Amino acid sequence: MNKMQQKFWKTKQQLIKVTGKKEDEFIVASDAELDRKLEVFHDIQKSCVELLAAIEQYQKRVGGKFLK
């Protein structure tokens, strides 16, 4: 989890303790599902950026061979 998510969850837990309210189990499940989807999205995004960098490096090397 990133720092923003950690701060959000920490603040949310503190607020729940202070107000004495219970968490809605459906909201908690929804938040967990959203967090999983965001984590998968960020993993895919990171992989795509790495793949793009590899492709660009490959194109530079191939282009360099033809120029020699």
Cα angle 31, 34, 35 (rounded to 5 degrees) comes to 85
**Listed residue (11, 27, 29, 9) closest to 19, CA to CA:** 11
Which pTM value belongs to this model?
Answer: 0.52
pLDDT number for residue 47: 97
Percent of the chain with pLDDT over 90: 28
Whole-number pLDDT of residue 68: 56
Tokens describing residue 20: 């004495």
Mean pLDDT of the chain: 81
4-13 tens-digit pLDDT: 777 787 787 7
H-state helical runs in the chain = 3-19, 25-67
Token couple for 56:
């660009």
Give me the phi and psi of 63, to 5 degrees please.
-65, -35
**Residues 36-41: what's their mean pLDDT?**
89
